[in-house]
Copies of this chain bind each other. A is one copy, B any other.
């Protein structure tokens, strides 16, 4: 067996969306299990919008320093083991990164996945951190009531595709924002949306949202920020909740971009706006995963993956995501 570990490391900070120049493929030594730990052979690694923030020179909730293996969540198989908690042949989920092998210690963020419930890539999607993120923002923070309306930006993306289905399962009317007629169709046919708006083709987005949501919006699940969020804000009802899950539409926050002030709407409409990062809420992961798995078993949680082959495809994958070319959850098979 080869003693090398192919990895994608961060070469330099990205001022916008990271691309080929921000990464470098490097062969490292293959790890051995740490005491009480295991070595995982990674099989699928995720590509996420959050990666732009991890590579940014700007302050972020998480950063991958130059020279380190690119962080990503991933699934793989335990191939060497010195642990009482898992065994060789187990499939596990964790932040293993863009590389072939990962040495996990006992206390690391990792859980077993069950390929009898769903194929491995699904555990990077609706049954992985994307699904859990959707669940936390929608179920835990937004506290939806049956009959309400939720508007979701990036409705066909990894998180948005799950929010739509959670909404439908909870009798909440979901309206999605996405780009391109393919994704509009996907949002409606697969991801639980009653309506979907192609925001690039909509003209005046505020009016388009008002037309799709004649009673206004109770919940805005925001993955993008910026002008799309402005159009959503204008349609919020009294008592509306905004969930800030991402800011993908804004390439740089230095200097801070300007937009319409929110103070008056916050007050007059009695709004509630919450930002969250899923990893802060690991105490809720088992509840979320039990809920998501039950929905998946009932065929109420569909998954659409686009799989890129090999680590060579990784450095340009984040650009593919931001260009909107991907269909469903983007990941890398290796």
Cα distance A260–B259 in the bound complex, in angstroms: 6
Q: Is A19 an interface residue (CB 8 A)?
A: no
Q: Tell me which residues across on chain B come within 8 A of A271, comparing CB atoms.
A: 273-275
Contact A59 B268 (CB under 8 A): yes
Contact A267 B250 (CB under 8 A): no
Q: Is A280 an interface residue (CB 8 A)?
A: yes
Q: Is A218 an interface residue (CB 8 A)?
A: no
Q: Is A222 an interface residue (CB 8 A)?
A: yes
Cross-interface CB contact of A272 among B260, B261, B272, cutoff 8 Å? B272
Interface string of A32-52 (1 = CB under 8 A from B): 000000000000000000000
Cα distance A273–B263 in the bound complex, in angstroms: 10
Interface string of A221-238 (1 = CB under 8 A from B): 010011001000000000
Contact A263 B61 (CB under 8 A): no
Q: Tell me which residues across on chain B come within 8 A of A265, comparing CB atoms.
A: 275
- How far is the CB of A4 from the nearest CB of chain B, in Å? 37
- How far is the CB of A62 from the nearest CB of chain B, in Å? 9
Q: Is A266 an interface residue (CB 8 A)?
A: yes
Tallying the copies of this chain within the complex gives 2
* Known contacts A271-B275, A272-B274, A275-B268; A263/B60 CB under 8 A: no
Q: Tell me which residues across on chain B come within 8 A of A261, comparing CB atoms.
A: 225-226, 250, 256-259
Q: Tell me which residues across on chain B come within 8 A of A270, comparing CB atoms.
A: 61, 275-277, 280
Contact A244 B263 (CB under 8 A): yes
Cα distance A260–B226 in the bound complex, in angstroms: 11
Q: Is A253 an interface residue (CB 8 A)?
A: yes
Q: Tell me which residues across on chain B come within 8 A of A245, comparing CB atoms.
A: 267
- Which residues of chain A from 268 to 326 have a CB within 8 Å of any chain B CB? 268-277, 280
Contact A247 B263 (CB under 8 A): yes
- How far is the CB of A159 from the nearest CB of chain B, in Å? 13
Contact B276 A263 (CB under 8 A): no
Q: Is A16 an interface residue (CB 8 A)?
A: no
Q: Is A143 an interface residue (CB 8 A)?
A: no
What is the total number of residues of chain A having a CB less than 8 Å from a CB of chain B? 37
Contact A225 B61 (CB under 8 A): no
Contact B225 A244 (CB under 8 A): no
Cα distance A31–B76 in the bound complex, in angstroms: 80
Whose C-beta in chain B lies nearest to the C-beta of A271?
B275
Q: Which of A59, A262, A271, A274 has the most CB of B within 10 A?
A: A262
* Known contacts A226-B261, A256-B261, A273-B273; A61/B267 CB under 8 A: yes
* Known contacts A258-B260, A261-B256; A277/B267 CB under 8 A: yes
Q: Tell me which residues across on chain B come within 8 A of A246, comparing CB atoms.
A: 267
Cross-interface CB contact of A275 among B244, B247, B269, cutoff 8 Å? B269
Interface contacts beyond A244-B267, A262-B273, A266-B275: sample of 14 additional A-B pairs, CB < 8 Å, sorted by A:
A61-B267, A61-B270, A226-B263, A256-B264, A258-B261, A259-B261, A262-B262, A265-B275, A267-B276, A267-B277, A270-B277, A270-B280, A271-B273, A271-B274
Chain A interfacial positions (CB closer than 8 Å to B): 53, 59-61, 222, 225-226, 229, 244-247, 250, 253, 256-277, 280
* 27 CB-based A-B contacts, threshold 8 Å: A53-B268, A60-B268, A61-B267, A61-B270, A225-B264, A226-B261, A244-B267, A247-B264, A247-B267, A250-B261, A250-B264, A256-B261, A256-B264, A257-B260, A257-B261, A258-B261, A259-B259, A262-B273, A265-B275, A266-B274, A267-B276, A268-B277, A269-B275, A270-B275, A271-B273, A272-B275, A273-B274
